[in-house]
Structure formats: structure tokens, C-alpha cells
Amino acid sequence: MRKYSRSLVFLLLSFFFSTFLCLGDSSSFSFHETLTQVSTLNALLNGAYDGTVTYREIEKRGDFGVGTFQALNGEMVALDGKFYQVRADGKVYSVSPEEKTPFVSVTFFDPDLKFEIAGVDYEEFKKEFDKKIVNPNLFYAIKIDGVFEYIKTRSVPKQSKPYPPLIEVVKHQPTFEFKNIRGTMVGFWCPAFIKGISVPGYHLHFISQDRKSGGHVLKFTLKKGIVSLDITPNFFLTLPENPMSLQEINRENEIKEVER
Ligand code: ZN
């Protein structure tokens, strides 16, 4: 009888904990369902390129995302918990945990939906993905694994002080073109209300399967691939340390220049 009641207690406890853990996992209020961002897009456009948060801290907030580095030294791609730096020389370097970032967006990628797609360019892809955006007030982490007929990426060269605004930097951005390349696109779709804080709409970075090339995606044609998306209802923002006023900046046209 005593043995029996012990087992019952154990069962009840495990039921309690599994339910509790289950709720914890599926709760939308967790870092697994949060887009964490350092600084704002307007601050970056204004030349706030000094890193404020280390990648050691960033990896606690996500295993997937895009960003940049101290002094704007290249494009960052995070995939499966590994962080890559695509520098202006077009090569891919691993990221030291001590490295700081002035601008980054990460989440833990737990896909909610997957679909196959073939024979689309970036604009056609957007039209297909738009259909999956059921709630336009949420964030969507996007992963595209596939074979790309064509990709054009860019990186940004490391800057020195006084830092020029981003619009000046991208005038001299090195671009890279790839044909018939296998790899993964990593990025986000952000709601329109995020203007000034992040990039509204699509923002994708690329990393090749051999981890030797990548960058910020400008154009692509996808031969065949699988798109996964993670609906992300929370947003955590670390404000820029630089005390510049971001109130009156309207950089809508600059964002178009810088991101496309
Ligand atoms: Zn980018």
C-alpha cells in the first residue's frame, strides 16, 4: 500500500512537472518566441557602429538571426547556434564570443510551418510568403534551405571614426554573385509598425552549405527549396547607448537604398 502511494505521488509529480514544463515550452512568453534586437535601424543608419553587446550574450537569446559587428565589420548570419561573419573580402569567419555587435536580431528558431517552393526569384518568393503572414502584427523568422540558381549578396567594410552614415558606406559596398549554390537563407519579416527600429518587410542573409560564402541578400533565384517559418509574438529591444536623437529622423528612402 505504501509502495503504491509512493508510485502515485511520483506519477502525480511527473504529471505536474510535465504539464508545467509543457506549458513553459508552449507559452508564447519565452525567449524561444522572442525576437531580440540590439539597437535600432535609425541608429545604425546614423553611424552608431560601436558594439554594445557581446556575442556571448547574444547566443543566450537566440541560435538564429542576422546582424553586424563592431565598426560595421561585415554581415552576421546565425544558423543552428553557430555565428558566422561574412567580411568585405567575401570570406566567412567564425565569430568570437568576445566580439561586440552594434546591431543584431536573433531568436531561437522553432519552425511553426514548412512548405516547398521552386523556381522563384526574390519578388515571387515574397508574394508566396506574404500568403503565410496571417497576422501582420507579429514577427516571422524565415529559413530557406535549397539550391539557388543565382544569388547576389553584399557585405560592408569595417569603418573608422568619425563613422560615416550607412547610406555613404553602402555606396562602396562589395557585392558577390553565386550560381547554382546550395545553402540557407536566414532572416525575418517584420511588421510595418517597426519602421525606424528595424527593417519592415523582408531582411535575409545567406550562408552557403560549405560555409565559405554568404552576405546580406540583394537578389536571388531559387531553384528548389524548403521554407520554414517561426511565428514570433514577442520583441525585446536593447536601446542604443549612443545619446544621439533619433526622434526626427525620417530615413524611409535611405532604408530602401541600404537594404535593397
Ligand atoms: Zn542585412
Distance 103 CA to ligand 1 centre (A): 10
Give the pLDDT confidence of 83-113 residue by residue, as tens digits.
999 999 999 999 999 999 999 999 999 999 9
User: With 70 as the cut, is the pLDDT of residue 36 above it?
Assistant: yes
Q: Are strands 234-238 and 34-38 parallel, antiparallel or unpaired?
A: parallel
Distance 224 CA to ligand 1 centre (A): 23
Distance 178 CA to ligand 1 centre (A): 17
Give the pLDDT confidence of 226-259 residue by residue, as tens digits.
999 999 999 999 998 777 767 656 666 777 777 7
Cβ atoms of residues 198 and 80 within 8 Å: no
Distance 167 CA to ligand 1 centre (A): 13
Q: What is the pLDDT of residue 19?
A: 38
Distance 41 CA to ligand 1 centre (A): 11
Topology of the domain covering 29-259 = 60s Ribosomal Protein L30; Chain: A; (3.30.1330)
Whole-number Cα distances in Å, 46 to 4, 81, 195, 196: 69, 30, 15, 11
Distance 81 CA to ligand 1 centre (A): 18
Give the pLDDT confidence of 146-182 residue by residue, as tens digits.
999 999 999 999 999 999 999 999 998 999 999 999 9
Cell match 516547398: residue? Answer: 116
For residue 236, what are the β-bridge partners?
A: 36
Distance 216 CA to ligand 1 centre (A): 4
Q: CB-based contacts of 18: which residues, under 8 Å, 6+ apart?
A: none
Question: Is the pTM above the cut of 0.85?
Answer: yes
Cα–Cα distance measured from residue 138 to residue 155, given in angstroms and rounded to the nearest whole number:
28
User: With 70 as the cut, is the pLDDT of residue 117 above it?
Assistant: yes
